[in-house]
């Protein structure tokens, strides 16, 4: 059993791991044969979960939590672990060790293209299926199809609330050994959207690059990031006050 160093952030557990440590957790999950849900935690998830009991329940029911963004890393004093970097390494691991993968999410055609690009990068990768993220009334039949294909790894790219609640709702039926929400990573992998240049990534400004290239994010980020920062600062003040009174 891999010993995991954890912290708590605004009520949510976070695994204090780097990329190697996260892959060790994934290897353990894959070897176990049981179903596991990995969360790539970011401020938006935390704020949305405070407003949605369904999302909060989904997040609290997961099995591992990676510090995905600069905001979470700042709050905990650790290095961030971008979910897309972990996804690439997980795909590489799958190709080397013979694990199968299913891609579900994004607009029609994007998951197909992402899977094709993944297979190009990792020639031994076993892709057992793809499906777009616009299924609604087809949800139960999609779950049945994924279960029939029996992928070892299921990647779900449908946006924070939709992907995590979908995983939580169906994880027992889906049965994959590793299930992970990947947000918009299929768009990047497929070439639909360009990832931030290295400078922005190294400077913890990937969020700013997304904002200037995708202005529609402004309202959402303006509602979540300041709220997250204030909550973290308030929690720190309370902790110091509690220590001072002891």
Distance CA 17, CA 176 (A): 23
Residue-range domains of the chain with CATH: 6-202 (3.40.50)
Q: Which residue has the tokens 């990768």?
A: 125
Distance CA 228, CA 233 (A): 9
Give the confidence band of 93 by pLDDT, cuts at 50, 70, 90: very high
Up-side HSE of residue 169: CA atoms within 13 Å toward CB? 11
pLDDT given for residue 199 in this prediction: 81
What's the order of all strands across the beta sheet hosting 126-131?
A: 64-67, 37-41, 178-181, 153-157, 100-105, 126-131
Give the confidence band of 185 by pLDDT, cuts at 50, 70, 90: very high
For residue 102, give both structure tokens. Answer: 């299913």
DSSP state of 116: H
Which tens digits make up the pLDDT trace of 114-132? 999 999 999 999 999 999 9
- What's the pTM? 0.91
pLDDT given for residue 241 in this prediction: 74
Kindly state the average pLDDT of the residues 13-22: 95
Tell whether the model's pLDDT for residue 216 goes beyond 90.
no
For residue 149, give both structure tokens. Answer: 């294909």
Give the confidence band of 218 by pLDDT, cuts at 50, 70, 90: low
Mapped onto helix, strand or coil, the DSSP state of residue 224 is helix
Contacts of 180 (CB under 8 A, 6+ apart): 37, 38, 39, 40, 83, 87, 90, 153, 154, 155, 156
């Amino acid at each position: 059993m891999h010993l995991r160093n954890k912290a708590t952030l605004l009520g949510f557990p976070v695994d204090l791991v780097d990329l190697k440590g996260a892959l060790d957790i994934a290897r353990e999950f894959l070897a176990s044969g049981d179903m596991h849900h990995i969360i790539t935690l970011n401020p938006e998830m935390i704020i949305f979960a405070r407003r949605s009991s369904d999302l909060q329940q989904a997040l609290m029911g997961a099995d591992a939590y990676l510090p995905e963004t600069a905001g979470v890393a700042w709050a905990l004093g650790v290095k961030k672990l971008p979910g897309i970097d972990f996804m690439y390494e997980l795909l590489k691991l799958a190709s080397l060790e013979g694990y199968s993968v299913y891609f579900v999410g994004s607009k029609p055609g994007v998951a197909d293209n992402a899977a094709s690009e993944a297979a190009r990068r990792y020639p031994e990768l076993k892709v057992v299926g793809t499906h777009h993220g616009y299924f609604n009334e087809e949800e139960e039949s999609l779950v049945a199809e994924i279960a029939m294909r029996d992928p070892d790894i299921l990647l779900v790219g449908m946006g924070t609330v939709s992907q995590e609640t979908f995983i939580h709702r169906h994880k027992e039926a889906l049965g994959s050994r590793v299930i992970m929400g990947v947000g918009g990573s299929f768009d990047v992998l497929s070439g639909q959207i360009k990832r931030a240049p290295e400078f922005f990534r190294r400077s913890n400004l990937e969020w700013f690059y997304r904002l200037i290239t995708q202005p529609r994010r402004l309202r959402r980020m303006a509602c979540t990031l300041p709220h997250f920062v204030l909550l973290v600062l308030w929690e720190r003040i309370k902790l110091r006050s509690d220590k001072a009174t002891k």
